[in-house]
Chain A
Amino acid sequence: MFLFLPVPEIWKTALTSLIGLATLIGIMTRPFRWNEAIIAMAGAAVLLLLGLITPADAFLTLFRDWNTFLFFLGMMGLSALAEAAGLFDWLAVQAARLAGQSAARLFLNVFLLGTLISMVLSNDATALILTPIVYVLVTKLRLPVLPYLFACTFIADTASFLLPVSNPINIIIISRFPLDLLTFLRLLFLPSLVVIGINIGIFFMLYRKQLKGAFDIQRLPSAAQAAKHKAYFRYTCCVLAAVAVAYVIASAIQLPLSLIALSGAVLLLIGGLSWRRTSLRQTASRISWSIFGFIAGMFIVVRAIEDTGLTTVFGNWLIHLSGSTSFGAVMVGTAGAALGTNLINNVPMAVVMVSALGGIQHASPVIQHGFIAATMFGCDLGPNLTTVGSLATVLWLLILRQRNVDVSGLDYFKVGVVVTPLMLFVGALTIWLLL
């Protein structure tokens, strides 16, 4: 509408900021339990209707980020099809068998398995697929459920910056600021190992009393029960091994990772259809299509804000806060991203940070790398602070608790508050030392 009316620039900027802010607040508070995707898309639609972003610009923004969309699709497809093959169940049974009836060793194995799955198949696979499997396993073994559940959920994020593919957030950031594999590993691999170590250490300390027992191996399902169709199971293992190698090669030669994820998913789908282990409809139902609407909406909203110059101001403010030092860049980047990710979701926060970092191109390469690595680190690890959702969710849970209503979720927050700030600080410090 404003495309055709002579409206002062200041009004356009104010209105765009207002709509952007309303969208972010909407995502944060989710009025009437609306889906985040609807809120993000509504924000984008209002901006388009008012002419605060042109349809061409919106289309170009989405087209430019095709790698992110396809990666999300490939990643979700890979995980869903690997689940259909029984791979996660099989791995969980093996982790239990290797634990030799010790509850503590099984706890460690859950961490290691979560790390492996997050590294190759992303944190979504660990949090969403491995967690229920571990729940079933420890329920059958009559072990305390919560420590194992927490281990799965926390390690999903803690191990999500071992490789670029370990978290879709990394892809959002790397798509805009390409980092070669060696630089990525140099800056984030060691910090990742450090925070994984801290996570495991603190959890063993917190749950030492509950992990003293042993379990009866007879209660375990057999590995053969987990892998229901042997041929498809073996085929899935081969495809995933090839995908893992291809990820490393593609990262090294800077080939879009979405192509690897998608090719892997297509190969698994072909196998699944030929062996009749899945159907197109079944696979489609395991994919969260609303995520694409959410990301698309967020990309458009942030693009409109970017045009007003506000994100550049935000970027310059970040540089100012960091005192133009590499230490400041890592600390400010980590703290900002981690805090933001707990206020809104980590996907919108990563999009906002990417846009803001576009405004720091005049800074030295060390500071730029510091901010980029810290943004990935903060956005990936930050959600562990309020694992159950955003700070708004936690506040709501606290209010309920005050009203004497017993609520789940607060236990997560208590553990997150203990473990996450320490992991963030030590991890950020390690990144700075490696810059």
Chain B
Amino acid sequence: MRVLCCLDGTNVEQVSKSTEMLLATQSLTLGILYVIDTGPRKDIEHIRERFLRPPGPPRSREYEMQQAEQGAAQDILNEGLRYLLNAETLQRQGRPEREIVNVAAEWQADLVIICPRAEYGGKPVIGPRSVGHVARFVLDHAPCPVLLVRQLAREQFPIAQ
């Protein structure tokens, strides 16, 4: 069974815990994927256009941006490897939602594990709009089953009328 775990920099523990139930599965292959989101870079280009400047920032700045992105991606994947030993690391660049479903198809994943959205602290979010646009897109478009891993939020129940 080939399981693709989608990391976002905040969810490695959650994802690794969810793989524990799969450990008994025979011939389990884990893949950890991190996608460098190119959306913000495009936004920066749009802003430059608005200020009547050529699209790309100066070359030295461009290089710094790439270095920072690559560094963060490598850091996140290494962190993933500490939790999910022997996993195959996959790194892509583009719109995360599209890259995840494309990699799931290309890597022939049998299961995609994803969290609803990146959590930066505070109580876990439940309710409407608690599933972010990336997870929603993956649920809608993935070529295989998707396991949506929520944080435990039992203290927020029962839900009031």
Partner of A408, one of B43, B61, B64, B97: B43
Stretch at the interface among A93-101, A204-212, A246-254, A299-307: A204-212
Chain A window 118-159, contacts with chain B (Cβ cutoff 8 Å), 1 for yes, 0 for no: 000000100110011101100110111110010001000000
Q: Is A388 close to B, CB under 8 A?
A: yes
A387 touching B50, Cβ below 8 Å:
yes
A345 to chain B, nearest CB (A): 7
Answer whether A409 and B42 are a contact pair too, CB < 8 Å, given A209-B125, A389-B50.
yes
In whole angstroms, how far apart are the Cα atoms of A255 and B32 in the complex?
Answer: 62
B72 touching A214, Cβ below 8 Å:
no
Q: Is A103 close to B, CB under 8 A?
A: yes
B120 touching A211, Cβ below 8 Å:
yes
* A388 cross-chain contacts in B, Cβ below 8 A: 43, 46-47, 50
Q: What residue in chain B is nearest A346 (Cβ atoms)? A: B50
Stretch at the interface among B18-26, B51-59, B144-152: B51-59
Q: Is A311 close to B, CB under 8 A?
A: no
Answer whether A142 and B75 are a contact pair too, CB < 8 Å, given A128-B47, A209-B120.
yes
Q: Is A371 close to B, CB under 8 A?
A: no
Q: Is A393 close to B, CB under 8 A?
A: yes
Interface residues on A, range: 35 or more
A286 touching B40, Cβ below 8 Å:
no
A412 touching B52, Cβ below 8 Å:
no
B43 touching A36, Cβ below 8 Å:
no
The SS class assigned to the B binding surface is helix
In whole angstroms, how far apart are the Cα atoms of A411 and B64 in the complex?
Answer: 25
A286 touching B65, Cβ below 8 Å:
no
A287 to chain B, nearest CB (A): 10
Residues from 46 to 101 in B contacting A, C-beta threshold 8 Å:
46-54, 57-58, 61, 64-65, 68-69, 71-72, 75-76, 95, 97-98
Answer whether A128 and B51 are a contact pair too, CB < 8 Å, given A136-B65, A142-B72, A286-B58.
yes
B72 touching A139, Cβ below 8 Å:
yes
Q: Which of B47, B75, B76 has the most CB of A within 10 A?
A: B47
Chain A window 266-300, contacts with chain B (Cβ cutoff 8 Å), 1 for yes, 0 for no: 00000000000000000001101011001000000
Q: What residue in chain A is nearest B79 (Cβ atoms)? A: A142
Q: Is A81 close to B, CB under 8 A?
A: no
B63 to chain A, nearest CB (A): 10
B125 touching A153, Cβ below 8 Å:
no
* A139 cross-chain contacts in B, Cβ below 8 A: 65, 68-69, 71-72
B43 touching A140, Cβ below 8 Å:
no
In whole angstroms, how far apart are the Cα atoms of A115 and B122 in the complex?
Answer: 29
A212 touching B43, Cβ below 8 Å:
no
Q: What residue in chain A is nearest B137 (Cβ atoms)? A: A406
In whole angstroms, how far apart are the Cα atoms of A142 and B39 in the complex?
Answer: 16
Partner of A149, one of B44, B76, B95: B44
A51 to chain B, nearest CB (A): 29
B53 touching A288, Cβ below 8 Å:
yes
Q: Is A213 close to B, CB under 8 A?
A: yes
A406 touching B57, Cβ below 8 Å:
no
B72 touching A127, Cβ below 8 Å:
no
Answer whether A140 and B71 are a contact pair too, CB < 8 Å, given A37-B52, A288-B52.
yes
B116 to chain A, nearest CB (A): 12
Partner of B52, one of A131, A211, A345, A406: A345
In whole angstroms, how far apart are the Cα atoms of A345 and B49 in the complex?
Answer: 11
* B110 cross-chain contacts in A, Cβ below 8 A: none
* B49 cross-chain contacts in A, Cβ below 8 A: 389
* A153 cross-chain contacts in B, Cβ below 8 A: 43, 47
Nearest 7 CB-CB pairings of A with B: A212-B121, A213-B120, A213-B121, A408-B42, A388-B46, A408-B39, A139-B68
Which residues of chain B have a CB within 8 Å of any CB of chain A?
Answer: 9, 37, 39-44, 46-54, 57-58, 61, 64-65, 68-69, 71-72, 75-76, 95, 97-98, 118, 120-122, 125, 137
Which residues of chain A have a CB within 8 Å of any CB of chain B?
Answer: 36-37, 103, 124, 127-128, 131-133, 135-136, 139-140, 142-146, 149, 153, 209-214, 285-286, 288, 290-291, 294, 345, 347, 383, 387-389, 393, 406, 408-409, 411-412
